[in-house]
Amino acid sequence: GKHVRMHSVAHAPSARSIVTHGVTRVSSRTRRFSRLFSAGSESLRRCASVPSRNARGRIVPQAASKRDDKEVWIQTTNVQVLLTALECGLSTTALFPSQNAGLAGEWRKVGRFSPLALTDDGTVTEEDGDFYRAVGITLKVNGPEDVDAIARMAGVEPLVVVDSSAWRIIPAENLVAKFGATDESRLFLVSETAKDAEAMFEALETGVDGVVLRTDDPAEPRELAAYLKKRGMIGGGGEAPGKLELTPAAVTRVETVGTGDRVCVDCASAFHPGEGLLVGSFATGLFLVHSECLDAEGYVNARPFRVNAGALCSYVVTPGEKTAYLSELRAGDDVTCVNGDGGTRVMTVGRVKVEQRQMVLVEAESAGKRFAALLQNAETVRLVTAPGEEEQVVSVSTLDVGDRVLVHLQEGARHTGLKIVEEEWYEQ
């Protein structure tokens, strides 16, 4: 048939067992894919262990899998589909069945992408230096009994790609519920249209971990990219699902302090008036710092891509309502852009600029709690004000005690950016 032969569930080899027999070194990078396919399962049994990959749009470490790390792979025989996926930021990973192995080499000049090989026995592999690594298995669904068998692989296989093209009535919710209960496995489904992929990403709200978009129509990746951007699952604009609650806080202290390492976060997209980043010294309360998209009284030209975010040690909100230190941000990371209404969208960091600058300590109170931020002493650094204030933003150079600004309150302590429960802790 048209599609590659895959395992029946009953005879599917374990990716963990496939990769426990050592490694195989190859001598020629140019012939690697074709040799891999021709070598068959005997070569695969000598593949290296399942890899840890942490680049955006790539396979994530199985021990640290996160349900909000959505991924799209492209499977196509039309180079225009791959080009579209790269141009719109949908995917940098392409899956090549054995009969199309040669395309992986032919399309190298199109752009930078990561090729994955789908062997005749259904194993998904990748290149890693001079080695092949098995990263998962592909299973074909022909009926309800196969769905039950696949569900039992949650927590056993690191990555399972389900192809239900032969049986369209697949209860994705059942598989999402089973795989969502473990961090040891990730679930991908093959979709032939953007609409099908959207449904898979929305199953039980959390959705599948990834989709293999198998199409030769360039309109499909473009449509899926627009959907994911709107949902805030990939960068480039659009609203993220839901809003962040913002609360008015009264400024209680504004004081010039010493110098420190100030961080400017320059993004790959422009901020709109009213938008900025949530930053602060305390994880429990973060200030909405406005971008530099406004002119600074004629002294400095607007930089609509920049937020002068404050001291190196400050927290910043990232997608999934996580936090990161400003010191951790690198080009290619994602941050959460927020407006005065709490609406959010994902922005991709293009550059992080760190310089020694004089700092201003800003403290504010809300709901009986006190928060602080160390910001650069500059007219271009502005906070978004609470509704009812005379201006929508206020510069730290004119900020006064009693001014009301917007903050985002968070409960609980933070460890590696994630909310944790601590019986006794405080920030000051």
In the numeric block, the tokens 């795989």 are attached to 179
Q: Do the beta carbons of residue 181 and residue 154 sit within 8 Å?
A: yes
pTM score over 0.75: no
Tens digits of per-residue pLDDT, 227-261? Answer: 887 776 666 554 455 589 999 999 999 999 999 99
How sure is the predictor about 271, in pLDDT bands with cuts at 50, 70 and 90? very high
Residues above pLDDT 70, as percent of the chain: 74
How sure is the predictor about 1, in pLDDT bands with cuts at 50, 70 and 90? very low
Is 50 exceeded by the pLDDT of residue 20? Answer: no
How sure is the predictor about 45, in pLDDT bands with cuts at 50, 70 and 90? very low
Tokens read off for 364: 């504010």
In three-state form (DSSP H/G/I as H, E/B as E, the rest C), the secondary structure along the chain is CCCCCCECHHHCCCHHHHCCCCCCCCCCCCCHHHHHHHHHHHHHCCCECCCCCCCCCCCCCHHHCCCCCCEEEEECCCHHHHHHHHHCCCCCEEEEEHHHHHHHHHCHHHCCCEEEEECCCCEEEEEECCEEEEEEEEEECCCHHHHHHHHCCCCCCCEEEEECCCCCCCCHHHHHHHHCCCCCCEEEEEECCHHHHHHHHHCCCCCCCEEEEECCCCHHHHHHHHHHHHCCCCCCCCCCCCECCCEEEEEEEEEEEEEEEEEEEEECCCCCCCEEEEEEEECCEEEEEECECCCECCCECCECCEEEEEECCCEEEECCCEEEEHHHCCCCCEEEEEECCCEEEEEEEEEEEEEEEEEEEEEEEECCEEEEEEEECCCCCEEEECCCCCCCEEECCCCCCCCEEEEEECCCEEECCEEECCCCCCCC
Is 50 exceeded by the pLDDT of residue 322? Answer: yes
Nearest to 14 by CA among 107, 134, 173: 134
Tens digits of per-residue pLDDT, 117-150? Answer: 998 888 999 887 777 788 898 888 877 778 788 8
Q: What is the CA radius of gyration of the chain?
A: 25
Q: What are phi and psi of 169, to 5 degrees?
A: -90, 70
Question: What pLDDT score does 166 carry?
Answer: 56
Most confidently modeled range among 2-11, 196-205, 280-289: 280-289
Tens digits of per-residue pLDDT, 362-420? Answer: 999 998 889 999 999 998 999 999 998 888 999 999 999 999 999 999 875 444 444 43
Write down the mean pLDDT value for the chain. Answer: 78
How far apart CA 395 and CA 254 sit, in angstroms, is 12
Q: Do the beta carbons of residue 380 and residue 395 sit within 8 Å?
A: yes
How far apart CA 76 and CA 86 sit, in angstroms, is 13
How far apart CA 285 and CA 373 sit, in angstroms, is 9
